[in-house]
């Protein structure tokens, strides 16, 4: 029997307690966690495989590779650039899943305020397979509005990110 790992959730962002939650996952053969990790943590590659991200910057320096405790900014889903902060960073290793989580915030009044935790888990599975799980909890009025849209833009957007990430990691960009 194979057990699969789960996202580490801080209490503030526990799934089901915010205004919007989405979960997307892929399991594929022929790609390793290390292959995926390279494209996930190097923000200079994001726009090559995911069209819903823009204006990535590192106001305090660093980047383009993400690292523990790194601050960065990016635009997505039509929001002005969000202030993000890496809160969990563990590269995948033998028997250890890769873990990446960041908070992203938009300040403002009650109608604009947004607080997000976006988490990733990347793990090798038996049979030359890799599992990539991404989940996000969002808190705030913009999140509540997104949660009511059909089709769900967060669910579809994150699936596009996963699909592009796997294409990039398997060397199939532009194919």
CATH of domain 20-169: 3.30.530.20
171 SS3 class? coil
Backbone angle region of 68, left / alpha / beta, with phi > 0 → left and psi within -120 to 50 → alpha: beta
The two tokens of residue 104 are 């992203």
119 touches 134 (CB < 8 A): yes
Number of H helices, E strands in the chain: 4, 7
- pLDDT tens-digit map of 126-175: 999 999 999 999 999 999 999 999 999 999 999 999 999 999 999 987 54
110 DSSP assignment: T
Domain boundaries, the chain: 20-169
Report the C-alpha gap between 28 and 57 in whole angstroms.
31
52-105 pLDDT, tens digit each: 999 999 999 999 999 999 999 999 988 889 999 999 999 999 999 999 999 999
| Residue 70 and residue 58 in contact, taking contact as beta carbons nearer than 8 Å | yes
Residue 21 structure tokens = 């939650």
pLDDT digit string, tens, across residues 2-45: 678 999 999 999 999 999 999 999 999 999 999 999 999 999 99
């Amino acid at each position: 029997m194979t057990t699969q790992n789960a996202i580490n959730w801080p209490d503030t962002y526990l799934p089901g307690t915010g205004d919007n939650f989405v979960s997307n996952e892929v399991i594929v053969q022929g790609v390793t966690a290390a292959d995926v990790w390279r494209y996930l943590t190097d923000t200079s590659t994001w726009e090559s495989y995911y069209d819903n991200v823009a204006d990535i910057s590192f106001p305090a320096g660093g980047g383009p590779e993400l690292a523990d405790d790194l601050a960065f900014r990016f635009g997505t889903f039509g929001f002005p650039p969000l202030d993000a902060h890496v809160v969990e960073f563990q590269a995948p290793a033998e028997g250890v899943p890769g873990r990446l989580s960041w908070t992203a915030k938009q300040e403002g009044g009650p109608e604009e305020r947004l607080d997000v935790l976006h988490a990733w888990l990347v793990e090798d599975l038996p049979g030359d397979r890799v599992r990539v799980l991404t989940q996000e909890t969002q808190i705030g009025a913009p999140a509540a509005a997104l949660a009511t849209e059909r089709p769900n833009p967060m669910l579809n957007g994150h699936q596009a990110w996963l699909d592009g990430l796997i294409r990039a990691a398997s060397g199939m960009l532009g194919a």
